[in-house]
Amino acid sequence: MPPDGLMVQSFATRQELRSWLEREHSRSSGVWVRVAKAGSGIPSVTFHDLLEEGLCFGWSESTRRAGDDTSYLQRFTPRRTRGTTSERNRRLVVELRTRGLMTPAGEAAL
């Protein structure tokens, strides 16, 4: 377990991550997500999956830590109250809204 006490969680697919966020986004203080390295052959969400789904639910990816030969750990936590949002993320939010993926929690966090 990482020193901050957050659990390590793996998600094989983006839908698995989204389902977890639907259940846990308002209850969890965060997790370290194990992300498989390219070429490892391990089914896994990608950093981009974390970025987009995080925006949809008001969560943010931050610190990355070395894992093992096949994966790394990405810290994934609820966004702080109305922090700054990069231009890239603002463009992504417009796209996510168009696709109908943004949730009330994601909108409130922005």
Residue 1 lies in a domain: no
pLDDT digits (tens, 9 = 90+) for 10-66: 999 999 999 999 999 999 999 999 999 999 999 999 999 999 999 999 999 889 999
Number of domains the chain is built from: 1
Structure-model confidence comparison of residues 27 and 110, the more confident one: 27
**Separation CA 72–CA 52 (nearest Å):** 18
Say what the pLDDT of residue 80 is.
78
Query: Cα 107–44–70 angle (5° rounding)?
Result: 130
Q: Residue 85 belongs to what domain range?
A: 8-105
Say what the pLDDT of residue 64 is.
93
Residue 52 lies in a domain: yes
Do residues 75 and 30 touch, judged by C-beta distance below 8 A? yes
Say what the pLDDT of residue 86 is.
86
**Separation CA 68–CA 89 (nearest Å):** 29
Residue 60 lies in a domain: yes
Residue 30 lies in a domain: yes
